[in-house]
Amino acid sequence: EGLKMRARRSSLSSSSKSEFYGRKQGGFVVGRQGTENRSKSAALGAQMSIAIGKAQRWWEKGLQPNMKEVQGAQDLVDSLFSAGDKLVVVDFFSPGCGGCKALHPKICQLAEMNPDVQFLQVNYEQHKSMCYALNVHVLPFFRFYRGAHGRLCSFSCTNATIKKFKDALAKHSPDRCSLEPPRGLEEKELIALSANKELSFNYTPKPAEQPLAVPAREGIPAEPVLASSHSSSDATLPLPLPLPRPLPLQSTAASKAAQDITDKSLVASGR
């Protein structure tokens, strides 16, 4: 019995050790508890790295539903056209710009206070070629667009000069309606974007406006005239009538002789 009890105790101790420490694989002991601890530490490290990464991306904090980050030149053009008559504010920023980082929370607050205004964010570091084509060289930089009016204003401001941004927002935010299609970027900006080989943006320039032509008359070929010149209806106005020529004046002696003849004829007749 003593031998049986000892064998039983040894088997129990070995089973408990195998359950706690696991079993040997390739000369190494792999334990269940050690594996769980390693998985937990790995998950915790991944969460910490994600949290740190999110903390460094300050431009993603406080975003409102009416704020959007532009993904490229085509996205910017499409966003301006799809906005219709809505006011659009394009915010050019850089992740390494201290002024942009300090101003970002206030821009988010203004976006929350003006839900009808569309805010577009352009990351300068990711879209340098596009910013060069749009002639943006100072940060932070803002441009206001609206419907058929196109670009309304453009300026640079910091946290200390935020009043400039607020004044522009108050001036251009009232509702307006236009029957013409949205204008978006200017013609020269669209051409500059399409000419940049680093951008996948295609644009066909608009044809040049032809000068107005005067209707041809018989024997006279039609000649182009500028829109600011006089209309052809001026040529059909009647010419002024010539003034009557004055009668020649008689000399003093001839008039006196004629008067004497008249007087004599009156005396002869008894008048």
Hey, which residues are catalytic here?
A: 97, 100
Contact indicator for 70, 76 with CB cutoff of 8 Å: yes
Give the closest residue to 66 by CA, choosing from 158, 169, 154, 195: 169
CB 30 within 8 A of CB 19: no
Is the separation of the CB atoms in 61 and 104 below 8 Å?
Answer: yes
Q: What is the DSSP letter of 246?
A: P
10 Å Cβ neighbour count for 102? Answer: 15
Q: Beginning with the edge strand found earlier in the chain, give each strand of the sheet holding 87-93 in spatial order.
A: 67-69, 118-123, 87-93, 141-146, 150-156
Work out the end-to-end distance of the chain between its first and last CA atoms, rounded to an integer number of angstroms.
Answer: 195
**CA 84 remoteness from chain centre:** 12
Q: How far apart are CA 267 and CA 271, in angstroms?
A: 6
Contact 190/203 with Cβ under 8 angstroms? Answer: yes
